Amino acid sequence: ERFIEWEVSYTFPAIGLRTIFFNAQHIPDENNTRLILLALNDITLRTEAEKIQSHQNLIMILESVPQITFSATADGAFNYFNNFFLDYAGITLPGALERNWMDIINPAQLNDVSQSWSHSIKTLENFNKEFQLRRKSDGMYRWHICRATAIINDQGVVTSWVGSATDIDEQKVLEKAKDEFISIASHELKTPLTSAKAFLQIIEHSMQQKKSADLIYIKKAGAAIDRLTGLVVELLDVSKIQHGKLGMHIASFNFNKMLSEAIESVQISSTKHTILQTGQIRKEIKGDEQRLKQVIINLLSNAIKYSPEADKVFVNAELKNGIVKVSVKDTGIGISKKNLNKIFDRYYREDGRAVHFQGLGVGLSIVKEIIQRHNGKIWAESEPGSGSTFYFTLPV
Ligand code: ADP
């Protein structure tokens, strides 16, 4: 090469950290001796100035955003809050930097927020948290969603953190009202449904004795009520989860028997699909049998629902190294990669083909909660158009 340039930062024992710019040129001459001209230039001050300029540019951007923004040093000490935050909180910048920012966070949440912040600083994972910040003008704690990201330089070193907090209080209030409505509505719906089902059973019984031709309609009405009850129970479970009231009844049970019962109850109402089981778990397992059965029924019902053109779904169960692993596989419509995590969120339903199938979008969120309460894990793998496999594991 005739010409190269490079920059290096080096700590000299006598004068400390300097940034040196090297420039090397090969100077050809007629005798063909290898002559290289090397120039060294101390550009420490220039890089410092560039840093200050880029910091000023960053501050200009952070000031122009109509939200709370802030920055911090690599070790997590805040070194800037924008005026939007100072106005909102009614504090000064020196005050905010001198730890007054802590007074603005809801004291009940401060510990949790600090822990998450330390965790992000240590692991460099993005900070992402919802908490309440006190507004000076009315003293109200308003919900914000706060996000922060580490800024990493060319050498892969974290130079600072930049973050924002967005006011989501109105959204939160609406969400709470919706959750409360669902909780009340599902309770109110359950009682009349139970009595309608009981009366239908009486009519069914008497029609059976009279061998009435209308028996089939009563059976259909019964099936419709069962489906409605299933939906109401799903909503009730969701509100129990939200209020931390989804009780678990942990006891030893026969996993194989539970799995067979779950498969049978789904198979009975499926005319097209056959559920094929492989693997056995010949061990008593500790857990909530009914809730785990609910998990398998839910995964199997989804596998059937989202594979309308197929005629088989597959279940496998195995016990390895003290961990139960169950998979439910279908060859249906599949799930796009970017949504594989979202499908476990409450009320989330994939757009596209999935919206043509009935459902409330809460089943998998309940399933996830049940598995997590057993200290297990749940995930899905999928290839859109060729099918999905759902897995869960439970420690024994
Ligand atoms: P629901 O089926 O009532 O919509 P779920 O919580 O059970 O709600 O599932 C959430 C979303 O995940 C569904 O709306 C669908 O988009 C997707 N999904 C779940 N299971 C499957 C599957 N086996 N194949 C394809 N998509 C699925």
Nearest alpha carbon, ligand 1 atom 13: 349
Does 386 have pLDDT greater than 90? Answer: yes
How much distance in Å is there from the Cα of 132 to the middle of ligand 1? 33
* Residue 104, number of CB atoms within 10 A of its CB: 21
* φ, ψ of residue 381 in degrees (nearest 5): -125, 145
Average pLDDT, stretch 294-323? 96
Q: What is the mean pLDDT of residues 95-106?
A: 93
Give the model's pLDDT for residue 127.
Answer: 96
Paired strand residues for 37:
25
Q: How many angstroms separate the alpha carbon of residue 221 from the centre of ligand 1?
A: 26
Interior/surface letters 215-224, b for 16+ CB within 10 angstroms, e for the rest: eeebeeebee
3 state SS for 112-169:
HHHHHHHHHHHHCCCEEEEEEEECCCCCCEEEEEEEEEEEECCCCCEEEEEEEEEECH
Query: What does the pLDDT read at residue 91?
Result: 95
- Mean pLDDT on 347-364: 86
Q: Which residues line ligand 1 (CB under 6 A)?
A: 302-303, 306, 330, 332-335, 343, 348-350, 354, 359-365, 388
pLDDT range class, residue 12, cuts 50, 70, 90: confident
Q: What is the mean pLDDT of residues 8-27?
A: 85
- What is the 354 CA–ligand 1 centroid distance (Å)? 7
Q: State the average pLDDT over residues 326-341.
A: 95
Tell which atom from ligand 1 comes closest to the C-alpha of 365.
6
Whether the pTM exceeds 0.95: the reply is no
**Pocket probe mutation, ligand 1, options 275, 347, 364, 369, max atoms within 8 Å of Cβ:** 364
- Report whether pLDDT(1) > 70: no
Residue closest by Cα to atom 7 of ligand 1: 363
Ligand 1 mean position to 192 CA, how many Å? 29
Closest ligand 1 atom to residue 234 Cα is 3
Distance 290 CA to ligand 1 centre (A): 21
Looking at 147-151, 168-172, 239-243, which range is the least confident one? 239-243
Pick from 14-28, 151-165, 237-251: least confident: 14-28
Contact 144, 132 (CB under 8 A): yes
Distance 349 CA to ligand 1 centre (A): 6
Per-residue pLDDT, 221:
94
Q: How far apart are CA 115 and CA 101, in angstroms?
A: 15
Please give the Cα distance from 392 to 379 (Å, whole number): 7
The residue to mutate among 238, 329, 343, 351, having the most atoms of ligand 1 within 8 angstroms of its beta carbon, is: 343
For ligand 1, what atom is nearest to the CA of residue 298?
7
For ligand 1, the distance from its centroid to the CA atom of residue 302, given in whole angstroms, is 6
Question: What is the pLDDT at residue 48?
Answer: 79
Q: What is the pLDDT of residues 25-59, one digit of tens each?
A: 887 777 777 788 888 888 888 777 887 777 888 88
From 314, 299, 304, select the one nearest 364 (Cα to Cα).
299
- What average pLDDT is seen over the chain? 92
pLDDT in tens, 57-97: 888 888 988 999 999 999 999 999 999 999 999 999 999 99
Share of the chain above pLDDT 90, in %: 71
Indicate if the pLDDT at residue 355 is higher than 80: no
